[in-house]
Structure 1
Amino acid sequence: MKRVYLLVFFLFISLCRVYAGISIVGNQDTAQVNLLNRQGFSIHLTDHEETIKKAQQALELAQKLDYKNGIAESYRILGIGEFYSNNTTSAIADYLNALSYFKRANNLLGQASVYNNIGNLYLDIDYDSSLEYLQKGLKMAQQLGNEKLTAKAYLNIGNVYLKKKNFSLSLEYYDKSRKLFDKINDPVSLILILQNTGVINYKLKQYDKATQLLLEANREAKNKDMNTSIGKIDLSLSSLYIERKMYAEAAKFLEEGIGYAQVTKDEDLVADFTYNLYELESGRKNYQQALTHLHSIYKRDSILQTGTLASDLTLMKKQQDQQEKQRENELIIEKQKNDRVKFWWAASCSGMLLIVIALLFGNVKRKAKTNARLTELNGEVSRQKDNLDRINHHLEEIIDERTRDLQIKNKKLSEYSSYLSHQIRGPIATLKGLMNLEKEGLVDQRECINMMDKCVSDIDDKIIDMTDILHDPKRTSF
């Protein structure tokens, strides 16, 4: 039985080592996916193209590993990069893919993050849809107790109300998010709140306060290399200075902002700066230059208007087809993979079970043979014990009989000794006396010989009689 346990133990250890080896490699690869996604997100406000590149690398690796959370997060980071590159159609497609994979992985935190991203994307398209997604993400973040995601949701909801010109509600949500960002020490998000609060003060015609907040946000954003935010802050400052007819300051921030917009390749931001250039030149009464900027704006809008609708429809249809096909392929691949895993597990378990059954069966057979042999040996031992008991009993009888015989013989020997002392010593004494008389010449020689012959005959008769007594068990005395 020990062999069975040892074999099962070694098989288990081998499987564990194989699984551990696979797990180590898998963990290393998934860590690389997570690292690439973190790197991509960390630069989304600085270099959108690099964010997209990092996310694509992470996505390729995650798909090879079938790492669902990694695939989902890669799509999300990819969507963020596309969003900041103003590729709205691609961004929404990536977000929907991310949401799908997070749902498959049952990752509520991931889903909440994507809802927040989608809500942020709808900010410039549909305020109601934006609020719907943001509120959904906020609710999940609060249920999970995630303060960072809750703060981001508050910030984005504040942005929606800023767009809707509900400034009091916007400031209320900014205040909620500021408290949480202060608590978790997120300086980047605090800069965004500072920027948006400055915009609200600008919209409320509180120019001094707005200028103070926007300039502070500009300095902090430069310290953090937040290129996109710097460009948008410069846009707000240029608008503010144009409205205040401070054209020199406006020109300064327009020039700086256009540089950041070109670095980040944000065409929409470049277009906004072009409009501010038109406003600036109009304010300066440089109408010819203003008309040139206005013409470029009109030309760009016309091109976008004619091409956007058709391209959006085509892209959305293509996206939908690709998603359906991708889902079908993923389901097929996942089913095949699960079937292969189930098959190999079943085969392994069946093999192990057959081995264990064979070993147990062999062990039972050996045990049955051993039990039969032990039973046979026990019977033989019992028989030998009975024989020994009989032999011992017979030996006891023999010993008793021999003891009795020896006692009889000892008694006879004792009697024989007494008999010799009393019966044989008389004739011998007579012979000695006759021999002494014959030496002294006191008896006739012939008469002496006759008497000696008689004594010898008497001794011989006594000896014969004694021998008969010793060999005759019926005679017990002399």
Structure 2
Amino acid sequence: MSVLKTYLFMVILFLSINQGYTQKLTKVDSLINQMEKASDTVKVNLLNDIGVELQYNDPHRALDFATKGLQLAERLDYKKGIANLYNDIGVIYGIQADYYKALEYFLKSLEIKEAIGHPRGIANSLNNIAEVYKFQNDHKNAIAYFKKALEIKRSLPDKRNLLFALHELGIAYATDKQFKLSDSCFMQLIQVSLDHGLDRYIPRGYYQLGKNFTAKGAYLKGIEYFQFALKLFDKHGDKQRESDAVNDIGNNFMQLKNYDSANYYHQKCLVQRKEIGFDYGIIESLLQISKVYTAQGRLREALAMAKESYDISHRLNIRERKRAALKEISNIYTKQKKYALALSYYQQYAAQNDSIIDERKTRQIAEMQAKYDLARKEEQINNQKNEIMLLEEKKRADNYLKLTLAIAVIFLLVLSLITFSRFRIKQKSESLLRDKNDQIEVKNNQIKEINLELEKRMLRAQMDPHFIFNSLNSIQHFITINDKHSTLKYLSKFSKLIRQVLDNSVNVEVPIADEIKLLEHYIELEILRFNNPFQYEIAVDDTIDIHTEEIPFLLIQPYVENAILHGLIHKKEAGALKVSFDRKGEYILCGVEDNGIGRKAAKEIRCKTGQAPQSRGMSVTACRLELINKNNHNKTLVTVIDLHNDQDQPCGTRVEILIPAWELKSNLIVNNHVTDNHSRG
């Protein structure tokens, strides 16, 4: 009977979603029909309106209409229309999480609005630019642009603009954990609303105060503010924000483990969002209900909700939501002990992750390329300016000389003064030219530094797939021998390892604490993979502050990998691995020591098995060391020592890596605290 109810609910939900989407399509069709008799500028505005209507439900189609409108506006030289369409194209790219493109179009819109003198439009563009920085977690720039927008909106007669600015700045402060400043913005919002009779904006302030209490872990206080805001939203007929408040109340009850109340509010929120056709919110509500059902042990119903959330996300191509749904489905199948299905959906989730990571890396490279192109353009502009100035100077000097020669006989004294004046002008010109050449030299040096940084990041990026591929081989091994317990255990440890690699994916250097944590995860995976063939120890000198001193990311791991794969796993008795960090003057001495079979025996095994003489990880590490040493006075040095016992027989290998000590930048916050004692049996 419960299964029948679930399917009936899904049918009603599907019909409701399609009804909301159909209403939007009806409005779009109406706008398209109006274009047949519209003038050119009105047609531009209609194409813009169509794009706005479709941007959440069908962003690809919305972009197509907005692009057509932009092309028409540019042919008409309709500046306001061009600015508006740049802005709305930026919004569409923002919805698709392409923040680099979104920022590009918002900046174009801002440039036009500043040229035509449109204060309200300028403020809105500044606000949108701040939103992009907020989504990129660049809180400093986000707050700076929100403040600029706020200053402009204070001077506008319509105080609703001021309310919007206070609202966005308050959210930015909250995102940066500056809750006192955030609360102040929302209290100002409430006061300005009361002073100017804008009662319908008051609940927004109370709602955001509830969000702040929730972020600080005061869930009951958050519910109190959400419920107060909910009554006011309902009074003013603000259906979407009313549904948001209901959703947040459900989330807080979920945090308090009051699952019945959480289910009640999330079901209520789902009904509200279906009524207004808010597809993005429907996806979220379905996933929240699935999590409640999972917590209650209602796994069948939870699975139905999660799959419906995925289907809608897939139809709308909202990748972040697809990822969340796939992860939840995998979790439910795991609880149902359907491990094959759980693994299948987890692999889809991981593939989505990889896709997003690849796009982010591509975007980062594009940003670096854009900076490089900008530097080249500035250099070309400076060269052109220099040439123009020289030509103008030469022209003035020639005219002056002709005039001087014409009156030379009569005005000899004047000629002398003019000659002296010309000499001074020439000196100034040469001084100006030297200054410009110095500026060009500085720009060239900056470009060289950018190129060197790009090379370092590209080599670091090659380490990640090599590193991940080795771990995936281990997962394949466990799956092949049908060891489900070890597979899931390995996947759990592997996910932690991948999370750390992703967290540091844009860093060339990381705190020693992060590198140690990564080494621990990696070694534990190898111990699990080879069934406890060795013990390990990580020791740190007391004089080294592992939270403030940095080393190149993933520099030590290839040597640890070499010690395990070519030294320890071939040893018949129990093996031992030791990684140490010691202070040595201006350097940190990192030692990787094993009691394995030694390099000579390992080389013989590689020859017999036909393995490559040097692994991909070691060759990439060698290139990285060459780049690191390129412009540094203090060099990173690597020494390999063959160990022998009293009978002069090989008893292991020690690799010593001498790394210059680098201090951590002051604005870097270390979240992963690691104790100074890292020894482990």
TM-score range, shorter chain: 0.5 to 0.7
Task: Tell me if the contact between 1:138 and 1:154 (Cα under 8 Å) persists in the aligned partners.
Answer: no
Per-residue displacement from partner, 1:392-415 (whole Å, max 9, x unpaired)? xxxxxxxxxxxxxxxxxxxxxxxx
In 2: Cα distance, 1:149 partner to 1:222 partner: 31
Paired position in structure 1 for 2:163: 150
Aligned mate of 2:320, from 244, 252, 268: 268
Paired position in structure 1 for 2:74: 63
Per-residue displacement from partner, 1:155-197 (whole Å, max 9, x unpaired)? 7854874796963177699799979977875533443444345
Distance 1:181 1:158, change over 3 A: farther
Paired position in structure 1 for 2:116: 105
Q: CA RMSD in A?
A: 4.0
Task: Tell me if the contact between 2:247 and 2:265 (Cα under 8 Å) persists in the aligned partners.
Answer: yes
Distance 1:95 1:317, change over 3 A: farther
Size of the alignment, in residue pairs?
Answer: 300
Paired position in structure 2 for 1:168: 213
Paired position in structure 2 for 1:466: none
Distance 1:323 1:298, change over 3 A: same
Structure 2 residue ranges without an equivalent (≥5): 1-37, 180-210, 216-221, 381-681
Paired position in structure 1 for 2:566: none
In 1: Cα distance, 2:97 partner to 2:57 partner: 14
Question: 2:290 aligned with 1:277, yes or no?
Answer: no
CA shift for structure 1 position 218: 1.8
CA shift for structure 1 position 149: 7.5
Question: 2:265 aligned with 1:254, yes or no?
Answer: no
Paired position in structure 1 for 2:445: none
Identity rate, percent: 22
Question: 2:44 aligned with 1:33, yes or no?
Answer: yes
Distance 1:221 1:205, change over 3 A: same
Structure 1 residue ranges without an equivalent (≥5): 1-26, 329-478
Higher helix share: 1
Report the residue type matching 1:147 in the other structure.
R
**Larger relative contact order (Cα-Cα within 8 Å, sequence gap ≥ 6):** 1
Paired position in structure 1 for 2:55: 44
Task: Tell me if the contact between 1:154 and 1:176 (Cα under 8 Å) persists in the aligned partners.
Answer: no
SS of equivalent residue, structure 1 residue 32: helix
Paired position in structure 2 for 1:72: 83
CA shift for structure 1 position 120: 3.5
Q: How does 1:309-388 map to 2 (within 5 A)?
A: 309-314=361-366, 317-318=369-370
* Superposition TM-score, scaled by structure 2 size: 0.38
Report the residue type matching 2:362 in the other structure.
A
CA shift for structure 1 position 150: 3.0
In 2: Cα distance, 1:57 partner to 1:254 partner: 37
CA shift for structure 1 position 116: 3.4
Q: How does 1:68-467 map to 2 (within 5 A)?
A: 68-126=79-137, 128-129=139-140, 130-144=142-156, 145-147=158-160, 150-151=163-164, 154=167, 157-158=170-171, 161=174, 167-168=212-213, 186-314=238-366, 317-318=369-370
CA shift for structure 1 position 134: 4.0
Distance 1:277 1:66, change over 3 A: same
Q: Indicate the structure (1 or 2) with the bigger Cα radius of gyration.
A: 1
In 1: Cα distance, 2:53 partner to 2:68 partner: 15
Distance 1:133 1:192, change over 3 A: farther
Task: Tell me if the contact between 1:63 and 1:71 (Cα under 8 Å) persists in the aligned partners.
Answer: yes
Distance 1:127 1:306, change over 3 A: closer
In 1: Cα distance, 2:233 partner to 2:117 partner: 27
Task: Tell me if the contact between 2:214 and 2:252 (Cα under 8 Å) persists in the aligned partners.
Answer: no
Task: Tell me if the contact between 1:46 and 1:225 (Cα under 8 Å) persists in the aligned partners.
Answer: no
In 1: Cα distance, 2:315 partner to 2:176 partner: 26
Higher strand share: 2
Task: Tell me if the contact between 2:244 and 2:269 (Cα under 8 Å) persists in the aligned partners.
Answer: yes
